[in-house]
C-alpha cells in the first residue's frame, strides 16, 4: 500500500518520511536481497529487524541508522507481536522512514500482513518489498527443486507449530499426496508428530525427505533421509533452528543437484577420485 508516488523528500536517500517499508531479507545470503531491499536498507532512518536476519545483511544498514531488535523464537519473544505493531506506528508518527526487516518474505509465515493491517488501521502509509522465502532459497541451495516433471506437480508451504502453541491442525490426508512437495517452516519441535501424522494418513514412509539448517549461509547443513527416518537423522545430526524441512520425491535429486556448501564439495571430491 502506498498512498503517494515515490519522492526524494527527507527520510533517507529517496525514502519518504513517516513511511514504513515491510522488507523481506531473504533466507540469509546477502546476495539474495532484491535491489530495492538493499536501497531501502542503505537509506532508512530506523530499521526494526528480526532474529533470522543474517549479520551480513545487517552490515548493509546505512551508518547512523537506528537499529531496533524485535526477534522472536518459540516461547521467547524479545517483543510481543502487538508491541512490534505499535512500535512501527509510533516510529512512523515521528516522521522517520522505517524499514521493518523480516527474514524470508514478509507475507510467508512472517506476520507481515498483521503488521500491515495495523499500519493501515492507523493510517500509516507502507510498502511491501517481497523477499525470497526460505522454501525457495533453502531448497535451491540444498540441491532440491520444489517441482520437477514426473516427481512433483505442486508444492505446499506449512507451519510446523500451531498458533499459541496449540496442536497442529492440518489436512494430513491432503498433505500426503505423493505428487506434492511439502515444505515445513519451524518444524523441528514437532517433527516426530508431523511425520507420524503423514504416514498415518497415507504417505509412503520411504518418501525422500530432507532438513536444511541455516540455509544459504556458510553454516548451512543438510540431512537427507526418508519420511520415516528423518526425525532420527535430524536428532543424530543435532540440527538446530532455523531448519527447513522438505518432504517429497523431489528430494531424491538432492545428491545429483548439490552445488552449494559441504555437500557439493564432497560430491566433487568423489567425482575427481
Identify the residue whose cell numbers are 531448519: 243
**Residue 105 bears catalytic tag:** no
Q: What is the dihedral of CA 108, 226, 154, 192, to 10 degrees?
A: -40
- Cα Rg of the chain, angstroms: 20
- Inter-residue contact 85 to 114 (CB < 8 Å): yes
**Residue 50 bears catalytic tag:** yes
Cβ count near 252 (within 10 Å)? 15
Q: What does DSSP assign to residue 7?
A: -
Ranges assigned E (strand) in 38-129: 46-49, 66-69, 72-73, 76-77, 97-102, 126-129
- Which residues on adjacent β-strands are paired with residue 154? 180
The number of residues making up the chain comes to: 273
Identify the residue whose cell numbers are 543437484: 257
Residue 173 Ramachandran class (φ > 0 left, ψ -120 to 50 alpha, else beta): alpha
- Determine which one of 8, 29, 50, 171 is catalytic: 50
Neighbour-count burial for 165-177, b at 16+ CB within 10 Å, e otherwise? eeebebebeebbb
Three-state SS at 27: coil
* Nearest one of 236, 256, 242, 222 to 139, comparing CA atoms: 222
- Determine which one of 72, 177, 193, 204 is catalytic: 72
Cite the active site residues. 50, 72
Amino acid at each position: 500500500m502506498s498512498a503517494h508516488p515515490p519522492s526524494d523528500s527527507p527520510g533517507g536517500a529517496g525514502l519518504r518520511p513517516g513511511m514504513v517499508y515491510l522488507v523481506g531479507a531473504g533466507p540469509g545470503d546477502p546476495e539474495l536481497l532484491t535491489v530495492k531491499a538493499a536501497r531501502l536498507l542503505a537509506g532508512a532512518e530506523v530499521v526494526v529487524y528480526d532474529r533470522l536476519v543474517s549479520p551480513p545483511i545487517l552490515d548493509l544498514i546505512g551508518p547512523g541508522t537506528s537499529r531496533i531488535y524485535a526477534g522472536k523464537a518459540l516461547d521467547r519473544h524479545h517483543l510481543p507481536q502487538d508491541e512490534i505493531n505499535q512500535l512501527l506506528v509510533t516510529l512512523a508518527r515521528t516522521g522517520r522512514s522505517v524499514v521493518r526487516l523480516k527474514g524470508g518474505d514478509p507475507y510467508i509465515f512472517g506476520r507481515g500482513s498483521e503488521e500491515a493491517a495495523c499500519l493501515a488501521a492507523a493510517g500509516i502509509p507502507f510498502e511491501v518489498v517481497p523477499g525470497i522465502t526460505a522454501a525457495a532459497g533453502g531448497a535451491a541451495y540444498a540441491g532440491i527443486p520444489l517441482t520437477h516433471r514426473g516427481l512433483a506437480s505442486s508444492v505446499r508451504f506449512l507451519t510446523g507449530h500451531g498458533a499459541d502453541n496449540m496442536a497442529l491442525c492440518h489436512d494430513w490426508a491432503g498433505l500426503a499426496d505423493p505428487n506434492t512437495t511439502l515444505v515445513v517452516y519451524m518444524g523441528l519441535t514437532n517433527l516426530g508428530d508431523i511425520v507420524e501424522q503423514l504416514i498415518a494418513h497415507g504417505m509412503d514412509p520411504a518418501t525422500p525427505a530432507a532438513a536444511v539448517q541455516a540455509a544459504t549461509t556458510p553454516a548451512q547443513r543438510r540431512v537427507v533421509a526418508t519420511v520415516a527416518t528423518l526425525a532420527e537423522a535430524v536428532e543424530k545430526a543435532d540440527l538446530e533452528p532455523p531448519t527447513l524441512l522438505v518432504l517429497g520425491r523431489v528430494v531424491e535429486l538432492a545428491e545429483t543437484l548439490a552445488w552449494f556448501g559441504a555437500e557439493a564439495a564432497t560430491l566433487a571430491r568423489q567425482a575427481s577420485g
